[in-house]
Structure 1
Amino acid sequence: MKKFFLIFLLGILFYSCTDKLPTVPATVVSEKVPHDTDDPAIWVHPTDASKSIVFGTDKDTDGAIYAFNLQGKIIPDKVLKNIRYPNNIDIEYGFKMFDSTVVDIMVFTERERNQIRLFSVPDMRPLDGGGFPVFEDETNINYRRPMGVGIYKNPINQKISVIVSRKTGPKDNYLYQYELISDAEGVRSEFIRKFGKFSGVKEIEAIAIDDELGHVYCSDEGVGIRKYAADPSKGNEELAFFGNENFSEDMEGIAIAAKPNGDGWIIVSDQQKGQFNIFSRKDHHFIKAVNLGTTETDGCDLVIGFFDKKFPKGLFVAMNNQKDFYFYDLGLLGFN
């Protein structure tokens, strides 16, 4: 009898730990890529949001950056191939070139070449002369492998910089920041600081930057979410550490939904549980979890606003480990 009761209790415990919330089905599932999807980034068309593009990395030595329309179909002439293990990707708007033209830009990490890449979008024109090396002062080659990337546009001076994380590294100064500068010789990246703690447990991949509030968030996998000032002049002190009690194992991709007056949400992938945890943008308290049906999600991105009839509240995109990306109307996450 005691043995039966013990088995019964263990069964209840297992069910409670593995039971998932009801699945919210995706609005659109993208076409599949050849290797291994990782991280998406949304570019919003300036005059017709229905023509916006979702970019996503396909992680492999023979990797690529894929481009999808809002129907999830690959746009062949926007695909960048022959990328050596692209990892994370980000989009920013309004980068001023030396000739006074203004372009939107895409940055992604190319891990096997120890560099980041810079392209203008949507014309997919390289601006980096083949790539910008990162972590150059590291003598340990393993500490030079870039993973995560986020772009920060300072709302006051309009300067644009890139924050990069890596596959592994020291427990201090895990993140490096580089300013993007356009001059008569082209575009270059200039190192401006190193900062950020690392637990040493797994890795820091996901990075998301809140331009308006000037904050950078990164997922120290298996440990918690770290927050810093994105503007180097504000210092390198860790401003917050949260979320560690809300995840089954790894916290991964981060997306920020910015609302007026500092309101909004921070959405973070609970990777092994296959859910997303949602926190307050203002004070980081846990709000709720949602199950969007993806598995082993590395990266996610979102934009608030009307895109088309399928995405009237905004677009949320999450990587799925079946070599594709899931697209959702933001209203499906319970936000209006």
Structure 2
Amino acid sequence: MGRLACWLVFASLVFPSFAQDGNVTLVPAAVGFEADNTAFYYSSSPRLLANDGSAADGGFRVFAANKNSSWPELAHLKTGRSKVAVPVYDVGGRDVLITIAATESIVRAFDAETFVEIKHARKYLLGDWSMLCGWRSGLSGNSYLFLFGKKMVVQLLVRSHNKRVRILEVQTFSIPIEGETCTVFQDGTVFFSAEDQALYSFAASESTQAPEIKTVAEDVPVLGLAAYHTGTKDFLFVVDSDALHVYDRRLDLKGSVQLIGISDLSVEGGLSILQSASGPNPSGTLALAFEGEDDTGVAIGSLQAVLAASNIRPYTIFNPSKTTCRKCTQPISDLCSDNGYRQRNSCDCLAGFSGRHCSKVTCQNGCSGHDCSFVTVKAKYETEANGGDGDDPAIWIHSTRPDQSRIVTTTKSEEGAGFAIFDLQGKLLQQMPSEEPNNVDVIYNFTVGAEATDLTFAACRGDNTLCLLKINSTGLLESVEGGVQPTPEDYEVYGSCTYRSPKSGRQYLFVNNKEAEYLQYELTSTANGTLKTALVRNFTGGSGGQVEGCVSDEEQGYLFLGEEPEGLWRYDAEPDGSSTGLQIAKVGDGNLYADVEGVTLVPAKNSSSGYLFVSSQGRSTYLVYERAPPHAYVMQFTIVDNKEADIDHVSNTDGIAAVGNSLNNDFPKGLFVTHDDANELVEGGTAEQASFKLVSLEEILGKDRIARLGY
């Protein structure tokens, strides 16, 4: 256990709430938008950057760091909903502001003085990004960024080459958590953490070798991190729910202050520090993202009490724009085509380049501006707006008229909670209120009373029940007797799927909670047509982490489930089968990234072959595996803009569904449907409601693979 953890345990035992050495009065300085992170830009006229996480406008905002509590907005760069914006100094003689939009995964650079975008610097980086930290090498003067996502970090190099700003990917490496806050000491030590997570660190370096991740302290209440630099030392500032704590390099506590001044304060993170005198704050200023009783946005406070409580002499001459090396040595070499580090007589190539002199681009298909390792496809249609927070789709195939098949979707938020039915062009046909259904599946030809009936099944979070509805001959939903079935008391449902046994013909329902406890129910019907369920099995899925998406292989007797932070697992689906799982894909294996969300199966028509699809929310990509053991990795794809049809790409993907059946002229070889969390509008901005994208399965798999399905 580290020093910080030991001190916290001691303090919690001795003091109900450990003593504070002073107060910092927070003042709302920029309000009216959703902020997660802040950063100060040092210049002759300092400025504050704050991300804008709202769906309608998004992007990031720039404020003048005035000498009073009113900080006027200088610019609002509407690049799409974002979580990060940071300055990078002296890139070819000018400072730039870097951001990445969650809606489209494009890294953008803006001139720090004019706020004009440097369009040639754009870089596409698929992922769900939460934090960005900058580091300037003391050996070369090169500027690096560490972009944090779901259990991974991308190291970027920002430099000028031939008078053009270039953003190059150095490497991607795994970390134990989704980093939500980070800061960097001048020696290159990068600290990162997240709410309810440990404090970690790694050493930044100019290398393509992944750094060692070290656990600094366990159980640290971290909502924000920042570094305070003096001429000889660095100090770590840690903010929790209502206090700010200062630690030295050895992680000994130097002092703490209480955060006051805002009613019902909720710290959202984004701690940053301005080490220069400004008006009422001669010792410097701190900023953080907050929500309060009356406002939301960014609050500021003086560093005076913080430094006094920690016995730190104010160091207000700190200037990150100054070169940190006296005799800079440039490791990026023209002998490596300026795409790699020179290592003795060889080149260590940056990501995306290869060859002896790093002159070969590893992309084989031109990339179209996207990551080279993915197949890129376009959606033919997207569903009309419906409800609030969508999650999962299912596809119902009409028994005699496949062109009349339907898309079933769920809305799990309180607003618009329920099911929706769409046609194969995404037109909304029906809304059916329900108690916040999450995952949804279709059950075909289930005997209800004496009638063969198609059903939908979902786990309903609103009342922790199993929700079942009848699908009539037109593909619309109707209520059914016994359509709401209970789960055990105190069991909070999350994900779900179905399974019909090839041995017994019996129908089963699977449901899980966030603690990975799976319950397997048998579904039956009384003679008068009332549905009933009986619990027949329970087991813990995966390694016990958060689970959600699952799908069964009804011919092979398998259940596949996704453990969001860990990977893909296979279990026996029969109620008397083994409850020991086999992990068939692991997060961080080079293909799969967290969070693992939707799982769906497309079996071949007359064989044990076929394909298993998994959605990777952390990169907004989809992975394809062989249905047959050992479930070999096949390919990966992502859904990009269809500009001709005004349909945007997919980001922060969640639930998925697919079938290999011939449906109509648009989908002659099958259909893939996926949730899109951030639906960008043609006129700009992002819709408040999610959509679902409809993609041709043949365009994903290609003619050879689709032919193997045999439909």
Q: Name the TM-score, length of structure 1 as normaliser.
A: 0.89
Which residues in structure 2 correspond to 1:276-295 (within 5 Å)? Answer: 276-282=622-628, 283-292=630-639, 293-295=649-651
After superposition, the Cα gap between the structure-2 partners of 1:7 and 1:124, relative to the gap in structure 1 and judged at 3 Å, is closer
Corresponding position of 1:231: 574
How far the C-alpha of 1:34 sits from its partner, in A, is: 2.6
The AA in structure 1 aligned to 2:420 is Y
Amino acid of the structure 2 residue aligned with 1:192: V
What secondary structure does 1:261 align onto?
coil
Paired position in structure 2 for 1:192: 536
Amino acid at match of 1:90: D
3-state DSSP of counterpart to 2:522: strand
Report the 3-state secondary structure (helix = DSSP H, G, I; strand = E; otherwise coil) of the residue aligned with 1:13.
strand
* Aligned partner (choices 93, 115, 132) of residue 465 of structure 2: 115
Determine the C-alpha separation between the residues in 1 that align with 2:553 and 2:583: 14
Q: Distance in 1 between matches of 2:618 and 2:634?
A: 19
Cross-structure match for 2:619: 273
d(CA) in 1 for partners of 2:616 and 2:480? Answer: 35
For the 8 Å contact 2:550–2:598, the answer to whether it is kept is yes
Aligned to 1:61: 414
Out of 427, 431, 456, the position equivalent to 1:73 is 427
CA deviation vs aligned residue, 1:111-139 (integer Å, no higher than 9, x gap): 020101111113523234351112x1x5x
Rg (Cα) greater in structure: 2
Aligned to 1:31: 384
1:165 matched to 2:512: yes
What is the alpha-carbon distance in structure 2 between the residues aligned to residue 307 and residue 237 of structure 1?
38
1:333 and 2:700 aligned: yes
CA drift of 1:3 comes to 1.9
Residues 245-298 of structure 1: per-residue CA shift (max 9 Å, x gap): 222321110111111331111110111211101111112111111012311111
Q: State the partner residue of 1:309.
A: 665
What letter corresponds to residue 32 of structure 1 in structure 2?
A
| Greater mean alpha carbon deviation, residues 215-224 or residues 122-131 | 122-131
Corresponding residue SS for 1:113: coil
Distance 1:64 1:10 in 2: 42
Q: Is the 8 A contact 1:271 1:297 kept in 2?
A: yes
Letter in 2 for 1:263: S
Identity of aligned residues (%): 26
**Could you say which residue in structure 2 is the equivalent of 1:261?**
607
Aligned to 1:89, which of 431, 440, 444?
A: 440
Offset of residue 151 of structure 1: 0.9
- Describe the superposition over 1:182-233 as per-residue Cα deviations: whole angstroms up to 9, x where unpaired: 11352101111101334344x1110111111111111111101111111112
2:652 to 296, 302, 311: 296
- Alignment RMSD: 2.2
Q: Which residue of the partner structure matches residue 691 of structure 2?
A: 324
Q: Deviations over 1:19-59 (max 9, x none)?
A: 63363110111111130110000000000100001000012
CA distance, structure 2, for counterparts of residue 107 and residue 37 of structure 1: 16
Cα 1:128–1:218 shift into 2, 3 Å: farther
Conserved 8 A contact 1:196-1:238:
no
Instruction: Report 1 or 2 for greater relative contact order, CA contacts < 8 Å, sequence distance ≥ 6.
Output: 1
Q: Residue type of the partner of 1:238?
A: G
Does the 8 Å CA contact 2:390/2:413 hold for their aligned counterparts? no
Residue in 2 that maps onto 1:151? 498
**Equivalent pair of 2:563/2:596 in contact (CA under 8 Å):** yes
Residue 60 of structure 1 contacts residue 84 of structure 1 at CA under 8 Å; is this kept in 2? no
Unaligned runs of 5+ in 2: 1-137, 146-154, 158-168, 173-350, 353-368, 640-648, 680-689, 707-711
Asked whether the equivalents of residues 105 and 121 of structure 1 are also in contact (C-alpha less than 8 Å), the reply is yes
Judge conservation of contact 2:496–2:509 (CA < 8 Å) in 1: yes
Q: Give the counterpart of 1:48 among 384, 401, 410.
A: 401
Structure 1 spans left out of the alignment, 5+ residues: none
- 1 or 2, which has the higher helix percentage? 1
* Bigger mean CA offset, 257-266 vs 223-232: 257-266
Which SS does the other structure have where 1:331 is aligned? helix
Task: Return the alpha-carbon distance in structure 2 between the equivalents of residues 96 and 104 of structure 1.
Answer: 9
Secondary structure at the aligned position of 2:576 is classed as: helix
Normalised TM-score (structure 2): 0.43
**Is contact 1:117–1:128 with CA below 8 Å preserved after alignment?**
no
Aligned length: 321
Q: Distance in 1 between matches of 2:419 and 2:620?
A: 24
Q: Which amino acid aligns with 1:199?
A: S
